[in-house]
Amino acid sequence: MVEHYNLDYEINDISAGGLIDEADAQFRYSKQGVPRIQHSHFPYYFMFKNKKVLLLIRDLRDSIVSRYEKHCKREKDPVDFSVFLREGFLNERSGSFKRPLEQKVNFLNSWCKSKDKPDRLLVKKYKELKEKQRKAMKEVLNFLEIPDFNFSLVEKAVDFGSFENMKKLEGKEASEGRVVNKGKTNRYQDHFSPEDKKFFEEYVDKNLVCDFGYNYQQWS
- What is the pLDDT at residue 85? 96
124 in a structural domain: yes
212 in a structural domain: no
What is the C-alpha separation between 78 and 84, in angstroms, rounded?
A: 9
Question: What CATH number corresponds to the domain at position 52?
Answer: 3.40.50.300
What is the total count of domains within the chain? Answer: 2
State whether 18 and 56 are in the same domain. Answer: no
Nearest to 6 by CA among 25, 27, 23, 29: 29
- SS3 per residue for 132-148: CHHHHHHHHHHHCCCCC
State whether 95 and 46 are in the same domain. Answer: yes
State whether 59 and 24 are in the same domain. Answer: no
94 in a structural domain: yes
- What is the pLDDT at residue 176? 47
**Facing residues of 97 across strands?**
90
215 in a structural domain: no
State whether 161 and 72 are in the same domain. Answer: yes
State whether 156 and 187 are in the same domain. Answer: yes
133 in a structural domain: yes
State whether 3 and 103 are in the same domain. Answer: no
Q: pTM of the predicted model, to two decimals?
A: 0.76
Q: Is the dihedral of CA 111, 138, 134, 166 positive or negative?
A: negative
Q: 105-140: string of b/e by CB count within 10 Å (b at 16+)? A: bebbebbebbeeeeeebbbbbbebbeeebeebbeeb
Domain that holds residue 153: 40-207
Q: What pLDDT tens digit does each residue of the chain (220 aa) get? A: 777 777 766 655 444 444 444 445 454 554 566 777 777 888 887 778 778 899 999 999 999 999 999 999 988 889 999 999 999 998 877 778 889 999 999 999 999 877 777 788 899 998 888 888 888 888 988 898 877 777 788 788 778 777 777 777 665 454 444 555 555 677 899 999 999 999 999 999 999 999 999 999 999 8
State whether 12 and 50 are in the same domain. Answer: no
State whether 141 and 153 are in the same domain. Answer: yes
- What is the pLDDT at residue 48? 80
- What is the pLDDT at residue 168? 74
60 in a structural domain: yes
State whether 138 and 71 are in the same domain. Answer: yes
State whether 152 and 82 are in the same domain. Answer: yes
State whether 1 and 55 are in the same domain. Answer: no
217 in a structural domain: no
State whether 5 and 113 are in the same domain. Answer: no
Long-range contacts of 82-85 (CB under 8 A, 24+ apart): 82/193, 82/195, 82/196, 85/192, 85/196, 85/199, 85/200
74 in a structural domain: yes
